[in-house]
Structure 1
Amino acid sequence: MKGSLYLKSGECFEGEWLTAVPEQHIQGEIVFFTGMTGYQEVLTDPSYKDQIIVFTYPLIGNYGINQEDFESKIPHVAGVIVYESHEAAYHYEAKWTLKEYLQKWNIPMLGRVDTRALVKKIRNEGTMPALLTAEKHAEKLIRLNTDLGYKVRSVSGTEAKMYGDGDFHIVLIDFGYKKSILSSLLERNCRVTAVPFDTPAKEIEKFHPDGILLSNGPGDPKELAGLMPDLNKLLRRYPTLGICLGHQLAALSFGGNTQKLAFGHRGANHPIKDIKTNSVLMSSQNHSYVVEEKSLRGTGFNVRFYHLHDGSIEGLTHQDYPVQTVQFHPESNPGPADGEYIFDEFIELIKTNNGRIFAYA
C-alpha cells in the first residue's frame, strides 16, 4: 500500500509501507544516518527519541536483528525510511528480520522512497518536522512537540541502578545512555551507578564516586538549563567524562553556548582531528547541537578535538579541573573503534586525581 512522507517545507515523498499501515499519523523530526551498517544500534539509541530516521544506504536489513546489539531495551525512533529492505535476514545470529522487529513495536517503515532526493532536501534546508501517513494532503497536520526536556525524562531511568564490582566507582548520569557506554566502563574494572538525569548533586555525592560520566541523550541541551548549577558543582568536584549531550551540558555548565547544526552529524564515518596526539580518527556520531567555540572564552575549556568536515568542536579538556568531553561516541556502536581510548584516558584521569576531591563552592 502507498504511503506518504510530508515535510514541513511542503514537499511530499511517496513510497510503499513495508510494515503494517499505521493507524494514525506519525510525527517527528526527520534526520538521516549515513552508515552502511548499524541500523539495530541506531533504532535503539535513546538519542533518536521521536525522530524519523532516513537510512542513506540503499539496502537496509539484510543481516537482520540479533539479541546482542541493542543499545536499550526498546527502539526509540518514531519511523523508518529506506529505499529497500530485505524480507529475509542473512546472518547466523539473526533472531528477527528488520520488518518483524519494527512490526513488534508498531514502528512504521516506508520503503521505495527516493532517499537520495530526500537527503539532499534535508541537507539544503536542514532537519525539520515531518509526518508519515497513509492519507493524502496531510501536510497541514504537521506539528512537532518541542518539549525536549520531556524527551530526556522519557528515556532516563527513574531510580539508581548498580552494575559491576570493579575498583573504580563511576556515577553515570542517565540522559538516555547507550548500553555500550555502560559496557565500556564495566570492561575497564569499574562499578557503575546509573542515576536519573535530575538527581541532585548532594544525592550523587552520597554514592562517593571516583568519577562522573555525563551520558548522551536526545534534544536541545538548553532545555536542561535548570540542571546547570548542580552539574557545575559536580564537574568542579569529580573527574568527569561527558559524551555527546553530556559534552554539550558540560560546556553550558561553565558558561559556554551551544547552537543547532543545519542537519547534524549522524553516521559512522566522521573524521576527527585529535590536537593532543596530532592524529585523525574515524568516529560514530549522532547529534544536532554543537558547542560554539567563541563562547568558551573564560570557561577554562580548551578544544582538543575538531570535526574535519565542518570544523565544529568535537571535544574539550578543562585547564583547572579533571574534565574531558567528546561530541562523538567513543563506545563505537555502531561505527569504528578508533575512539575507545577516551575511556582509558578517563580511567587514568581518575587515577591521577585520586583524593583530589574539591569541596562545593
Structure 2
Amino acid sequence: MKAFLILEDGHIFEGKHIGSKREVISEIVFNTSMTGYLEILTDPSYAGQAVVMTYPLIGNYGICPSDMESLKAWPDGFIVRETSRVPSNFRSEFSLEEFLIKNDIPGISGVDTRCLTKILRESGTMNGMITTNENFVIEEVVKALKEYKVTGVVSRVSCKEKKVTTHEKFTPTDFEMAKMTYMASPEMKEAIEKATKNGVCLGEIALSCMQGTAGIAYLNKLAEDENLVKTHYKVALMDFGSKKNIEHCLLKRGCEVTVYPADTLAEEILEADPDGIMLSNGPGDPKDVSEAIEMLKDIIGKVPLFGICLGHQLFALASGANTSKLKFGHRGLNHPVKNLATGKVAITSQNHGYAVEEESVENTDLEITHVALNDGTVEGLRHKKFPAFTVQYHPEASAGPEDANDLFEDFLTMIENFKKEGEELCQNA
C-alpha cells in the first residue's frame, strides 16, 4: 500500500506503508544511529515525534523485548529508507513491522531519507503527516501542519504513582533479560535437559529450572560488579519519561530507587528523606513542565541532585538560566562532548531538541562543565554552591557508548560526601 509523508513546507515523499494504517501529524526529527532502533522506539523522549532513521537499512536484527527501554513504543511515526524483511538474530522474537503494528505506530519505508534529512537540517525541524490517503489536499494538509503544536507529552509518559525498587528484587523484566542472555549457555542447556523426560520437555519444570538458573546468573552478575556499592542509598527518581536503563544503572550500584510521577510536590519527596534525587530524561519543551520547575526550586540545595537530558534543562530553568529550541536537535549515538575541567572527550548518546542557552548561565550560580564539540551546545552544568550537577546527554546509553557511565559513580560519591558533611556538622553543633 502506498503511503505519503507531507512536510509543512510542502515537500511530499511517496513510499510504502509499514506498521499501523492510521493517519498521524507529528514533529519530524532525524536520528543518525546505525543501531539501537528498538531502544529509540521505546524511549519515552520521542513521544510527540515521528523519527527518521538516516541509516538506510533498519530492522535487520529484529525485535528483542529485553532491549526495550519502556513497556511500549512512543513515537508518533517511523520513517525509514528500507526495512529488513528477514531479521537475523537468535534473540529476535518478531520483526520490526510486526512490532510497529502491535504498538499502533504508523510508518513509511522507501523514502529518500538522505534528502529528507538534508531538508530538516537546512530548514530545521518541522511538522509532517504520514498518511495512506492518496486524495489529500495539499493546501489543507499544510495548513493543519502549521497549526499543530506538541503539548502535554510529559504527563503522557510519566508514571501515575510512585514505586520502590531495590537491586535485591528479581523482577519479571530481570528474568526476561537474564533468560535471553543465558539461553545459549551450558548451564541453561543442562537445566533444560534435566527438565526433559522421555524426550518430552515438561514446560513448567523447564521454566522453573530456567528461572532458577537465570536468576542465579543475574544475581551473581550483580555481586561480581566491581562498582556495586555496599551501602544502599535511597534515590528518588523523577520520572519525566525515564528510560529503563537509568533506573538499572542506579539499582546495580546498590541503590534503593523510588520512582515518582512528574507532578509530585517537593514536600512529598523531601518527607521520604532520600539520599539523592535523579532527574530523568523526557519529551517536549522543558518550559511546559512548570510544576517540575517549581518543585526543583524548593529542592535544590537540600538533597544531592543529578539530572539527565530534560532533567538537565529543568534544573537550568529552576536555577535562573534559559532554554531554547535547537534548529534540528542532537539525536544519535556518536556525539563528542568535552569535559572542560579535564579536557577529556567522551562519545555520547544524545536525544534532545532543546538546549540551555550559554549566555543565560552567566548570571546564575551555575557553571558550564561540558560542551558539544560539534556545535558548542551546553552539555553539562554544576551548581557552584550546592551538590548538584546535570548533563544534556545520556550517560546510561542504551543504546550507545558507555564513555560517561562513571557519572553515576560521581553521583553516589556526591551523596556520600554530603552525608559525611552533615554528620560532621551534627557532631560540631
CA distances 1:207-255 after superposition (whole Å, capped 9, x unpaired): 1100001110000001112432321221221100010000000000011
Task: Count matched residues.
Answer: 354
1:72 partner SS: coil
Q: Are 1:6 and 1:138, in contact at CA under 8 Å, matched by a contact in 2?
A: no
Letter in 2 for 1:128: M
Gaps of at least 5 residues in structure 2 are 168-230, 423-429
TM-score, length of structure 1 as denominator length = 0.95
Q: Are 2:4 and 2:13, in contact at CA under 8 Å, matched by a contact in 1?
A: yes
Deviates more, 1:295-304 or 1:306-315: 295-304
Tell me which residue corresponds to 2:312. Answer: 247
Letter in 1 for 2:258: T
1:230-245 maps to which residues of 2 (within 5 A)?
A: 230-245=295-310
Q: 1:70 aligns with which of 68, 71, 77?
A: 68
**Inter-partner Cα distance in structure 1 for 2:358 and 2:383:** 14
1:195-234 maps to which residues of 2 (within 5 A)?
A: 195-234=260-299
Tell me which residue corresponds to 1:121. Answer: 119
Tell me which residue corresponds to 1:11. Answer: 11
Q: 1:161 aligns with which of 153, 160, 163?
A: 163
2:274 partner SS: coil
Letter in 1 for 2:149: T
Q: 1:297 aligns with which of 351, 362, 384?
A: 362
Letter in 2 for 1:6: I
**Inter-partner Cα distance in structure 1 for 2:81 and 2:368:** 39
Q: Are 2:23 and 2:106, in contact at CA under 8 Å, matched by a contact in 1?
A: no
1:172 partner SS: strand
**Inter-partner Cα distance in structure 2 for 1:318 and 1:300:** 6
Letter in 2 for 1:152: V
Q: Note the C-alpha offset of 1:88.
A: 1.5
CA distances 1:22-62 after superposition (whole Å, capped 9, x unpaired): 1x421110000001000000000000002110000000000
Return the structure number with greater strand share: 1
1:248 partner SS: helix
Deviates more, 1:298-307 or 1:347-356: 347-356
2:108 partner SS: strand
Tell me which residue corresponds to 2:81. Answer: 83
1:146 and 2:122 aligned: no
Q: Note the C-alpha offset of 1:206.
A: 1.5
Question: Is the alpha carbon distance of 1:19 and 1:154 closer, same or farther for their aligned partners in structure 2, counting shifts above 3 Å?
Answer: closer
Q: Note the C-alpha offset of 1:347.
A: 0.6
Letter in 2 for 1:27: I
Q: Are 2:107 and 2:130, in contact at CA under 8 Å, matched by a contact in 1?
A: no
1:325 and 2:390 aligned: yes
1:263 and 2:353 aligned: no
Q: Are 1:256 and 1:291, in contact at CA under 8 Å, matched by a contact in 2?
A: yes
**Inter-partner Cα distance in structure 2 for 1:170 and 1:185:** 8
**Inter-partner Cα distance in structure 1 for 2:19 and 2:338:** 41
1:304 partner SS: strand
**Inter-partner Cα distance in structure 2 for 1:89 and 1:161:** 36
Q: Note the C-alpha offset of 1:297.
A: 1.9
Identity percentage of aligned residues: 44
Deviates more, 1:135-144 or 1:52-61: 135-144
Q: Note the C-alpha offset of 1:343.
A: 0.6
Q: Are 1:260 and 1:290, in contact at CA under 8 Å, matched by a contact in 2?
A: yes
**Inter-partner Cα distance in structure 1 for 2:264 and 2:2:** 46
Gaps of at least 5 residues in structure 1 are none
CA distances 1:83-140 after superposition (whole Å, capped 9, x unpaired): 1111111011111110111111121221110000000000011111100011233442
**Inter-partner Cα distance in structure 2 for 1:237 and 1:121:** 46
**Inter-partner Cα distance in structure 2 for 1:200 and 1:268:** 34
How large is the Cα RMSD of the aligned pairs?
A: 1.3
Return the structure number with greater helix share: 2
Q: Are 2:282 and 2:310, in contact at CA under 8 Å, matched by a contact in 1?
A: yes
Q: Note the C-alpha offset of 1:355.
A: 5.6
Q: Are 1:293 and 1:313, in contact at CA under 8 Å, matched by a contact in 2?
A: yes
CA distances 1:272-297 after superposition (whole Å, capped 9, x unpaired): 00112211110000000000111112
Tell me which residue corresponds to 1:108. Answer: 106
Q: Are 2:48 and 2:150, in contact at CA under 8 Å, matched by a contact in 1?
A: no
1:348 and 2:348 aligned: no
CA distances 1:263-320 after superposition (whole Å, capped 9, x unpaired): 0000001000011221111000000000011111232111110000000100011110
Deviates more, 1:220-229 or 1:236-245: 220-229
Deviates more, 1:280-289 or 1:136-145: 136-145
Q: Are 2:127 and 2:148, in contact at CA under 8 Å, matched by a contact in 1?
A: no
Q: Are 2:237 and 2:259, in contact at CA under 8 Å, matched by a contact in 1?
A: yes
Question: Is the alpha carbon distance of 1:230 and 1:154 closer, same or farther for their aligned partners in structure 2, counting shifts above 3 Å?
Answer: same
Question: Is the alpha carbon distance of 1:116 and 1:147 closer, same or farther for their aligned partners in structure 2, counting shifts above 3 Å?
Answer: closer
Q: 1:173 aligns with which of 238, 248, 251?
A: 238
Letter in 2 for 1:335: G
Q: Are 2:234 and 2:255, in contact at CA under 8 Å, matched by a contact in 1?
A: yes
2:149 partner SS: coil
**Inter-partner Cα distance in structure 2 for 1:300 and 1:245:** 19
Question: Is the alpha carbon distance of 1:147 and 1:67 closer, same or farther for their aligned partners in structure 2, counting shifts above 3 Å?
Answer: closer
**Inter-partner Cα distance in structure 1 for 2:259 and 2:421:** 23
